Amino acid sequence: MAAGCSKSFTSKYEEEKYYDLEYEEFCKSFAFSNSSTCWICNGYYGPNYEEPLCGTCHSFIFPNHPQDEAEGMVTEVSDDEDSGNDEPPENGSEAKDRSDGDPDYDDLDRPRPSAPRNVNQYLEMLSQPREADDESQRQICALPVEVLLSIFSYLDDLSLWNASEVCKQWKRILEVHIPQQMWKKYTKERWPLFQQISTIPNWLHMYGALMNSCFCRTCLIHMAHKAPMRGRVNHIRANRLRNDIRSLDLDATEGIDAVALDNQLFHWQASILGPAGSPYEGGKFFLYIVIPCSYPMLPPQVRFLTKIVHPNVSRHGDVGIDIIQHNWSLALTISKLLLSVQSLLTDPFTQICMEPELGRMYENDRPKFEALARRWTWKYAMYEVLPPVDGFI
């Protein structure tokens, strides 16, 4: 049990019960250190609004259009300028109708999400301070329902859900006037690997629960925007990704799945199941993968979307694994990369951690770490089997 505890117990049962309650209280109150400000600038560039990074730091470190560092290594552009990929951007399992027989599962009739702001736009905002206008906010809340619905009709699904989080009145309006089938479409559009295993009583609540289960909403906007990369697409990349798609389908590993989100195969969503016997067992964790133009010369960018407690995963979702950071090999495929990430869940590397406080907890108090990891798994990674009832996590 916990080291250095001087409390005495009359029985083993009493001791275990005491520590179970202690761990439960700890798990409920756990928060990353310095979580109230930006993880990078410590609040220098402005508030982070409960995100791991403020907008300025995020746009600088994770730009909207990452420049390929090895652009000079690429070959010629394919004839059709769409990466030369003649196969569908979906693996075998994803090729099935995601609508489950729903004839209304077609293109969404709302606009696409706007691209996240870049560094220049954030710096311009920082140089032009604005004062809060409480009177304007009260006037907006007093608008008739018909006017609000007209305004909401111009919003994409991400903005629409954000509007539902503003106040109970707006959430109630959206629950009443936007059909459940529409929120089901939005969920399938943003989470193509999400599988409906159990009955979902409210798709707005499910959409919101999946959004709230993510480390970083700005990364969700990047994934939804699917902006093309800067750099020339080449035949080597296209042929390699064709083989990667085949390997995901033919050599499928249990608990691992991935699907391309755009025709040029830049943006992918992946999922891994928590390994049996680990505190992540039973959870399904979604990941966001960005494939650079010079792949496989350069490794993909891999981030956890689903919140997870792990020494080698940062509070932003970045994965600290050696084969991505330093020892990338041309022999590695997307399938093998995801298998390595899954293996990392059972065998953390604590000598160099993305989150040192979790590394120390793993080494010094393993039961407390496992209790916390198990609680986060139940809280954020099990919505396929335990859908939200009231919209709250």
Residue 144 lies in a domain: no
At residue 27, the 3 state secondary structure works out as: helix
> What CATH number did the domain enclosing 271 receive?
3.10.110.10
The whole-number pLDDT of residue 194 equals 94
Instruction: Flag whether 355 is in a domain.
Output: yes
Contacts of residue 49, Cβ cutoff 8 Å, sequence gap at least 6: none
Residue 313: strand, helix, or coil: strand
Q: What is the pLDDT of residues 181-207, one digit of tens each?
A: 999 999 999 999 999 888 898 999 999
Q: Looking at residue 231, what is its pLDDT?
A: 72
pLDDT (0 to 100) of residue 311:
95
Cβ 55 vs Cβ 39: under 8 Å: no
Token pair recorded at residue 226? 């699917």
65, 80, 59: which is closest to 290 by C-alpha? 65
- How many CB atoms are closer than 10 A to CB 357? 12
Residue 103 pLDDT: 47
pLDDT at 254: 78
Residue 74 phi/psi, 5-degree rounding, is -80, 165
Please spell the DSSP secondary structure of 239-304, one letter per residue.
Answer: HHHHHHHHHHHHTPPTTEEEEESSTTS-EEEEEEEPPTTSTTTT-EEEEEEE--TTTTTSPPEEEE
Main-chain dihedrals φ then ψ at residue 284, nearest 5 degrees? -120, 120
Number of structural domains the chain divides into? 1
Confirm whether 340 is domain-assigned: yes
**Which residues does residue 304 pair with via DSSP β-bridges, in sequence order?**
287
Full domain range(s) for residue 294: 230-379
CA–CA dist 60, 66 (Å, integer): 10
Measured CA to CA, the distance from residue 216 to residue 48 in angstroms comes to 11
CA distance 214 to 191: 12
pTM of the predicted model as reported, rounded to 2 decimal places: 0.81
Q: In the structure encoding, which two tokens stand for residue 125, read together?
A: 């905002």
Within the chain, which residues score under 50 in pLDDT?
1-4, 15, 69-90, 92-101, 103-107, 391-393
Gap between the Cα atoms of 144 and 79, Å rounded: 54
Residues 216-257 have pLDDT tens digits of 988 998 898 888 877 777 788 889 999 999 888 876 677 899
Whole-angstrom distance, CA of residue 361 vs CA of residue 23: 12
Q: What pLDDT score was predicted for residue 104?
A: 47
**Residue 180 lies inside a defined structural domain of this protein:** no
Q: Are 103 and 276 in contact (CB under 8 A)?
A: no
Number of Cβ within 10 Å of residue 40's Cβ equals 18
Helix runs in the chain, H state only = 12-29, 55-61, 119-126, 134-141, 145-152, 157-164, 168-177, 180-190, 203-212, 217-225, 235-250, 322-325, 334-344, 356-364, 366-380
Tokens of 139: 């006037």
Q: Is residue 336 a part of any domain in this protein?
A: yes
Task: Flag whether 80 is in a domain.
Answer: no
Neighbours of 195 (CB within 10 A): 15
Please state, in angstroms and rounded to a whole number, the distance separating the CA atoms of residues 261 and 219: 14
Residue 165 falls within a domain, yes or no?
Answer: no
Question: Per the domain annotation, does 296 fall within a domain?
Answer: yes
